[in-house]
Structure 1
């Protein structure tokens, strides 16, 4: 894994404002170094999404701090904070699709907005990732006209675009669907080898069976907070 000594993400006794988040107003602590992967079991999809929002600097704090790539979310000017979010790939449980646009624009819009990468280069990357995830090419239909499976694949394409430095993945792979797991794990491994930090949420911890190795942390996200899970060897 990457030897960079600065963390990708660090929550330092971060206590969110309950009224703004719905998260239990207790201190959350987590540190992801480049290439680390935190596997977080959470039965409540809303809680997982709110914790991902917390990691993205979208929820104010009562106390403590959160930094991403060495930058403190709470002190960053708004424009720089949104630019930093451009380095985060995210899969949201509810999709966050805009059905007025084609899926292709939904996939490209973050990179078009936050980077100066030429459009042709972004399209080529999106097409390559689409094919890796089992799509025939970059889908142009609106998201509401895609099958659930193709929307899930498109969500992975969008998350992995632009070689993100942090991935926040809310239930990225359906435990009952096997055809996505191989390309998903291949892209996840490649991202971690580039130094990307990963948080992977799931309601079904059995999906991680056999996913072991250096830099993997395991937690449960409960009303009581973020609780470490002992590794069983």
Structure 2
């Protein structure tokens, strides 16, 4: 059943067999404003494939994926690109362009999808960077940053522009524990203003330790997308 108020809705979404990382069963999910789903999967490629599915980048042989009420398959390229500008994503593999400065990598999606002037985007990005523990917007190329600073830069890029949907493919590693508090604070504020989020993890213990309230706890496996109970 369609939910007109949903931020993201998967209705018996069945990818083509060629989308090999995804389970070959219909997938259902409904996230409203302020909902946060924790999706456990041991396979990083599966997390990336599911994020692609939610972003309208995966062909379906059945069902539908709707974002902000729009079925991705009904949109032309320009409208789909505009909608993707409302999605913030931390990519499993970084998705950095190493020939450009990190600051350009961070701002480029926002500048591409909106008409916001560059100085305004730069100020917003710099403020996010400071909230996440960086001294400012990093100018060095991504391959020159430490793993921790690159993760912080990825968070800046994901949260820039107050996205309506957040897809966080990467879990904070134990050596990045100092990032947990500012990241969860940003996530809480995003949910409070009505965004929805999917946080992927191989092990839910980090989220359990943080006592972060999630509305859905799910497992993504060969059997599909199913609720799990944590005690």
Q: 1:121 to 1:172 in 2, by over 3 A?
A: farther
Contact 2:4/2:69, CA 8 A, preserved across alignment: no
Tell me what 1:147 maps to. 146
Q: CA deviation at 1:227?
A: 1.0
Stretches of 4+ aligned residues off by more than 4 angstroms: none
Contact 1:152/1:172, CA 8 A, preserved across alignment: no
Q: CA deviation at 1:205?
A: 0.8
| TM-score normalised according to structure 2 size | 0.95
Tell me what 2:43 maps to. 44
Q: How far, CA to CA, are the matches of 2:183 and 2:21 in structure 1?
A: 31
Q: CA deviation at 1:37?
A: 0.1
Tell me what 1:127 maps to. 126
Contact 2:21/2:45, CA 8 A, preserved across alignment: no
Q: CA deviation at 1:172?
A: 4.1
Tell me what 1:180 maps to. 179
Q: How far, CA to CA, are the matches of 1:91 and 1:212 in structure 2?
A: 19
Q: How far, CA to CA, are the matches of 1:197 and 1:175 in structure 2?
A: 25
Q: How many residues align?
A: 228
Tell me what 1:211 maps to. 211
Segments of structure 1 that go 5 or more residues without pairing to the other structure are none
Tell me what 1:105 maps to. 104
Q: CA deviation at 1:175?
A: 3.6
Q: CA deviation at 1:21?
A: 4.8
Tell me what 2:197 maps to. 198
Tell me what 2:17 maps to. 18
Q: CA deviation at 1:176?
A: 3.9
SS at match of 1:14: strand
Q: CA deviation at 1:5?
A: 6.3
Q: CA deviation at 1:211?
A: 2.9
Q: How far, CA to CA, are the matches of 2:216 and 2:8 in structure 1?
A: 13
Q: How far, CA to CA, are the matches of 1:172 and 1:127 in structure 2?
A: 23
Q: What RMSD, in angstroms, separates the aligned Cα atoms of the two structures?
A: 1.4
Contact 1:11/1:30, CA 8 A, preserved across alignment: yes
Q: How far, CA to CA, are the matches of 2:56 and 2:35 in structure 1?
A: 20
SS at match of 1:39: strand
Contact 2:98/2:142, CA 8 A, preserved across alignment: yes
Q: How far, CA to CA, are the matches of 1:43 and 1:23 in structure 2?
A: 12
SS at match of 2:138: coil
Q: CA deviation at 1:219?
A: 0.3
Q: 1:148 to 1:189 in 2, by over 3 A?
A: same
Tell me what 2:70 maps to. 71
SS at match of 2:123: helix
Tell me what 2:84 maps to. 85
Q: How far, CA to CA, are the matches of 1:7 and 1:69 in structure 2?
A: 7
CA offsets 1:18-39 (integer angstroms, 9 cap, x no match): 2145322210000000000000
CA offsets 1:45-74 (integer angstroms, 9 cap, x no match): 000000000000000101001100001101
